[in-house]
Chains A and B, each alone.
Chain A
Amino acid sequence: MIQITAGIEAGHAGRQIRLLHLHPNKNPFMHSSANTHTYQQLVCFHCGEACTIATITAENKHFCCEGCKMVYQLLNKHGLCDYYSLNENPGLTQRIPVRKDKFAFLEDAAIQQQLISFSNDQQTHITFYLPQIHCSSCLYLLENLHRMQPAVISTTVNFSRKEVSIIFDHNHISLQKVAELLTGIGYEPYISLQNLQHHKPGPKKSLIYQLGVAGFCFANIMLLSFPEYLGLEPADLQLQGVFRWLNVLLALPVFLYSAYPFYESGWKGLRHKFLNIDAPIALAIIVTFSRSLYEVISGTGAGYFDSMAGIVFFMLIGRVLQDKTYQQLSFERDFTSYFPVAATLVKDGQERSVSLPEIKAGDTLLIHSNELIPADGICTRGKACIDYSFVTGESLPVNKEMGEMVYAGGKQTGSAIEILVIKEVAQSYLTRLWSADVFKKNNEPKSVSFVHLLSRYFTYILFSIAAIAATYWAFTDSTKVWNVITAVLIVACPCALLLSNTFTNGNILRILGRNKLYLRNAQAIEDMAGITHIVFDKTGTLTTTSEQQVTYEGLALNQRQQQAIASLAAQSNHPLSRALVSHFGNIQRLPISAFREIPGKGIRGMVGDQYISLGSPDFISGYTTTIEKGARVYVAIDDKVVGHFSMHNHYRESVAPLVQSLSAHYKLSVLSGDHDTERATLQRMMGASTTLLFNQQPGDKLQYIKKLQENGERVMMIGDGLNDAGALKQSNVGIALADDCNNFTPASDAIMDASQFSHLYRFMRLCKANKQIVIASFILSIAYNIIGLSFAVQGVLSPMIAAILMPASSLSILLVTFGCSNIAARLFLKDVPRT
């Protein structure tokens, strides 16, 4: 998708009509239609989505909505249409307009203070997070912002963090206007409560410095050691001292600085009374350095500085690879990053923005359409239609009348409402749920890698070999005892084990990352390999929230009636209307007159000579019924009820084949916050052996996983919403599924792109292969160790042998691990499309 194609020309209208072409990850739910029909299709020049109405045009270009057209006209006015020539349809759809005063809270000085990184009398520096950034066009447009607004002095995009740093002249433009400018061109800044509380930590650079220093010292020590390996002529012997002392000097930074992570981690382990792999490595480094220093001072030899520096260098490379972080992803998000920064307070008929912590009980808040409810309260005006799917897992929006309680975290999907706050943000249901002890579980590692256990055995064996050799030499030649002990420790440190582990992990992390499964750390690979039980969340995980399956029951509708219903539904933003629109797809639209929307009830309007009503049964027929009205839309034509549409959860296509491959190897469960209306369907899909639990509160989910773990299961939880957050944390591996990885995801061990859901089983097999590769390369390194040890116990380990053995074993381990993990990836992931 990221390419610069000069051939695509912005002003060429002829290529507007072309076969439906979709960006792979922009519009996941349109693939089905792309597969079945290959009709000529109008696509939006701005965002590439299908145009449902052919009337929105500007300069012979078609747009899917007024929003996209406005962005185009704005860019065109400022001569920034290169945006469209760098990539095809680079924009994101503007179908849902951003509320006009959304960024009014940025006028608040206290909020400004917390967001701004620097300010003097002329300019202000601010960094916004723009999750929409995805291609070179974005880069081009954002960095040319000053051409649209001269008061913007400069903009710099950090692509991997998806951030833009803007320097602007605050005497000519306000922060709010800057945010609105970005919003106006389709890049709405994402500002959350978490932004205010603490800034993201920058990437750790010390490891890179340590690696650089180790590489520099290693190469030079190698160079200076050549005279030792090859032998000096007697005439040059005085040079030997110079070389050796230079080596000491070069080895010092490695010993004191580069090897520091190993001392630190080894010491940390020992303090917790745990012998991890870094402890024997730290010991080996210290022993090697001390003995080498002793040899140089006493003039008895050149020491093993070259081997030491080489080992530290290689181990640091492994560590850097393994500690690769996904900067743009956050695995530690909590509810504060889900909440907005401010809400609209209504007082004495005046609206003003107020930051969340300042909201008090008794305040009246205005909640606009598509806004989150920040605090628990009572609905006092308007009809609430609240989408709690993210918080509770219920898939359909809940209708609330005036006087009913609404809880924080829900999203208002209808028109604007007012609520009377009864609990402050800090005490609302969601916040309290979060601060419950289980959610605050310690961040200590959930499990211990088998490598540490393996290294422990290795260390015991090593110490016994050293002890046996020392006893032998104590009786034969007592001058050689220390020589032999140190030689054994030098040559046989478990660094080969660490190397094979870090290199394999690093490579597997990289491969999984390329396939859009982003693991928090290397330990997650091993945890994934050991899983015995997989628990799925239903809403948003097995089902897609963006799409509903629609079936119709009633009198048959003719083409014209279908067109009329689709045209009417397209006028409304209600989730059920939207589901209807996508059900009818690209049907021709008819003009509508006398359109009325009664929030929470339905819509009606004249289409041609027909009077069409869509909505709940009481809205259509006039009397109240109790049948599950939320999931049904009734249709009346000319006041006669003709039938109803039922909305079902739309299960991801990949669920059935995935379950088939998983159920043979793992126990499965499904936890749902929804009612059990779909139990039969779900049971059929998941197989008879799968446990299905419905009406699960967030706490229940967590308890269920805890119970499984008490029965000795190692549990993987796959979920997507806040309601799964506790379960994700409690499980051995929690995977958060996201349609867009840059959106909010609850805290987890891994984030998986929803499009990759079907490949889960393959990923898990790859993780299993990881362990086998580590063990295989470890066996290889033992072979090297035996050779090295055979020299060491005899007391004849020359620096030359050490200098050949160590890099040789490191390099062969490197090759074996990279080779094997790439072969394994090719084997297991061969059907997974590469991106």
Chain B
Amino acid sequence: MSAIIILLIASISVAAIFLAAFIWSVRNGQFDDEFSPPQRILFDNSPSPPPKNTDQ
């Protein structure tokens, strides 16, 4: 009985945390630009990538 109540509270609060995370991420602008972040992570900080000989 009380186990159900505890589980309920737990499940709703987990869901609420995700809701809060979602709202935070929208407010933080994470959905404003869907192109740059996935590209940015691929950029090397080294001056140039190792050369490869591929003439397409």
Return chain B residues, CB-CB under 8 Å to A8: 54, 56
- B49–A216 contact, CB under 8 A? no
Count of interface residues, chain A, beta-carbon cutoff 8 Å: 39
Cβ of B55 and Cβ of A209 under 8 Å apart?
Answer: no
B34 touches A14 (CB 8 A): no
Chain B positions 19 through 56: 1 when the CB is less than 8 Å from some CB of chain A, otherwise 0: 10011001100011111100110111001110111111
The 8 A CB mask of A1-15 against B (1 = contact, 0 = none) is 010101111111011
Contact B39 A139 (CB under 8 A): yes
**A14 in contact with B19 given A159-B35, A160-B33, A203-B32 (CB within 8 Å):** no
Query: Is A594 at the interface (CB under 8 A from chain B)?
Result: no
Nearest A residue to B5 by beta-carbon distance?
A242
Q: Which of B1, B19, B27, B56 has the largest number of chain A CB atoms within 10 A? A: B19
- Quick check: is B6 within 8 A (CB to CB) of the other chain? no
Q: Which residue of B lies closest to A144 (CB)?
A: B43
Contact of B32 among A6, A11, A160, A220 (CB under 8 A): A160
CB < 8 Å neighbour of B4 from A139, A158, A239: A239
**Which residue of chain B has the shortest Cβ distance to A246 in the bound complex?**
B8
Measured CB to CB, the nearest residue on chain A to B52 is A7
Given the complex, which residues of A lie within 8 Å of B31, measured CB to CB? 208
Q: A81-B48, A212-B19, A220-B12 are in contact. Are A205 and B36 (CB under 8 A)?
A: no
- Given A205-B26, A239-B4, are A79 and B48 neighbors across the interface (CB < 8 Å)? yes
Q: Smallest Cβ distance from B5 to chain A, in angstroms?
A: 7
Kindly provide the distance from the CB of B10 to the nearest chain A CB, expressed in whole angstroms: 12
Hey, which chain B residues are within 8 Å of A223, CB to CB? 11
Q: Which residue of A lies closest to B37 (CB)?
A: A159
B51 touching A216, Cβ below 8 Å = no
A158 touching B33, Cβ below 8 Å? yes
B26 touching A239, Cβ below 8 Å: no
Q: If the complex has contacts A212-B22, A212-B26, A213-B19, are A140 and B43 also in contact, measured as CB distance less than 8 A?
A: yes
Contact A82 B33 (CB under 8 A): no
Residue A236 at the chain B interface, CB threshold 8 Å? yes
Q: Bound complex: CA of A632 vs CA of B22, how far in Å? A: 64
Q: A79-B47, A160-B35, A239-B4 are in contact. Are A9 and B52 (CB under 8 A)?
A: yes
Are A6 and B49 neighbours in the complex by a CB distance under 8 Å? yes
B49 touches A209 (CB 8 A): no
Contact assessment for A139 and B54 in the assembled complex, using a CB-CB cutoff below 8 Å: no
Q: How far is the CB of B55 from chain A (nearest CB, A)?
A: 5
Q: Given contacts A140-B43, A216-B16, A239-B1, is CB(A82)–CB(B49) below 8 Å? A: yes
**CA of A160 to CA of B33, assembled, Å:** 6
A503 to chain B, nearest CB (A): 20
Chain B residue nearest in CB terms to A327: B32
A223 to B7, CA, bound (A): 12
Q: Is A143 an interface residue (CB 8 A)?
A: yes
A136 adjacent to chain B (CB < 8 Å) = yes
7 shortest interchain CB distances as A-B pairs: A7-B54, A159-B35, A216-B19, A136-B39, A79-B47, A159-B36, A158-B33
Chain B interface residues (CB < 8 Å from chain A): 1, 4-5, 8, 11-12, 15-16, 18-19, 22-23, 26-27, 31-36, 39-40, 42-44, 47-49, 51-56
Binding site for B on A (CB under 8 A): 2, 4, 6-12, 14-15, 79, 81-82, 85, 136, 139-140, 143, 157-161, 203, 205, 208-209, 212-213, 216, 219-220, 223-224, 236, 239, 242, 246
User: What are 26 of the A-B contact pairs (CB < 8 Å)?
Assistant: A2-B35, A4-B39, A7-B52, A7-B56, A9-B52, A9-B53, A9-B54, A12-B51, A12-B53, A12-B55, A14-B55, A81-B48, A82-B44, A82-B47, A85-B49, A136-B39, A140-B39, A158-B36, A159-B35, A160-B32, A160-B33, A160-B34, A161-B32, A220-B11, A223-B11, A246-B8
